[in-house]
């Protein structure tokens, strides 16, 4: 599976133009985290392959830890995105 890449936002054309931050937006990062979480959970149980049951308790704990981290990061990015959106209005 190929990794998705996010295009960087363009820099302003002139020094007097409003500046934008370089790098992906909170929305882009949120979309990536949610795609990662969806793929992780599908791999664990998406087609009923029972890998999740056969992995053993340590692997199971680690996979759930990864999923929890991704969900926490996605929630933080959502809050950041909402703050950015509210700041524009």
Q: Say how far apart CA 70 and CA 77 lie, in whole Å.
A: 10
| pTM metric for this prediction | 0.60
Full pLDDT tens readout for the chain, 89 residues: 445 554 444 444 444 545 556 788 888 999 999 998 888 888 777 666 677 677 788 888 888 899 999 999 999 999 988 888 888 87
Contact 63, 44 (CB under 8 A): yes
Please state, in angstroms and rounded to a whole number, the distance separating the CA atoms of residues 81 and 27. Answer: 6
Lookup: tokens for 29: 């990062």
Whole-Å CA distances, 88 to 62, 81, 82, 84: 39, 11, 10, 6
């Amino acid at each position: 599976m190929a990794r998705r890449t996010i295009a960087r936002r363009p820099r302003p054309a002139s020094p007097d133009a409003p500046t934008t931050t370089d790098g992906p937006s909170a929305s882009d990062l949120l979309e990536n985290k949610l795609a990662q979480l969806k793929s992780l959970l599908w791999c664990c149980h998406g087609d009923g392959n029972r890998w999740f049951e056969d992995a053993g308790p340590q692997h199971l704990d680690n996979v759930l830890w990864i999923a929890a981290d991704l969900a926490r990061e996605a929630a933080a990015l959502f809050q950041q995105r909402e703050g950015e959106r509210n700041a524009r209005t």
